[in-house]
Amino acid sequence: MDRRQRKTREAIFSAFTELLSKKDFNQITVGEIIDRADIGRATFYSHFETKDFLLKEFCEELFCHIFDTENSVQNHHKHIFSCDGSGSVFLHLFQHLQKNDNNILALLSSQNNELFMRYFKSNLELLIESHFSLFESSKNKNMPLSFWKNHIISTFVETIKWWIDNGMKESPELITEYFFMVV
């Protein structure tokens, strides 16, 4: 992706998340997104088929960034999220939430949070699967793997909700520690 395409994509993401913080997803039109992003309709559709695809791509960008940073992938793809990527992958996610990169908190706390959470959880499942060794010691051998995975996902999501609802007073390091204590 060249610099111009990346800049356009970032403008679309920014416009979309700003609109989601103010309106219900179903009430947002592609026209509003392109007006706010200051791009043409054809430009929007050259990047995303629909606004559903836009939200899906936004969530994938978050997780792609985290996987790439964690695996020290040295490529020329610039993500919409930037950071040093230190610490565990879960700490990394909490750090992005604390920085409120690309208005993620608005998505999580808006009336559209279930839509965002659906994508968030599906990507989180892949993340947990790739880091399952972190949780194996606390898994009961009689417990079905699918149940355990669902428990970890739900715990992470509820930890995020609790942290946001309580003003995010705890550091990302401490909230990560809390998460690992309960799983």
4-15 confidence digits (pLDDT tens): 998 999 899 889
Per-residue model confidence (pLDDT) at position 68: 57
User: Which residue type does 151 have?
Assistant: H
Q: Alpha-carbon distance 95 to 175, whole Å?
A: 10
Gap between the Cα atoms of 127 and 88, Å rounded: 12
User: Distance (Å, rounded) from C-alpha 113 to C-alpha 81?
Assistant: 20
Residues in the chain: 183
Instruction: Report pTM.
Output: 0.71
**Averaged pLDDT, 85-104:** 74
Q: Is 9:47 a contact under the CB 8 Å cutoff? A: yes
pLDDT in tens, 5-47: 989 998 998 898 888 778 877 889 999 999 999 999 999 999 9
CATH 1.10.357.10 fits 50-182, yes or no: yes
Q: Tens of pLDDT along 101-145?
A: 656 676 666 655 676 777 778 878 888 888 888 888 888 889 998
Range 82-99 average pLDDT = 73
DSSP assignment of 117-157: HHHHHHHHHHHHHHTGGGTGGGS-TTS-HHHHHHHHHHHHH
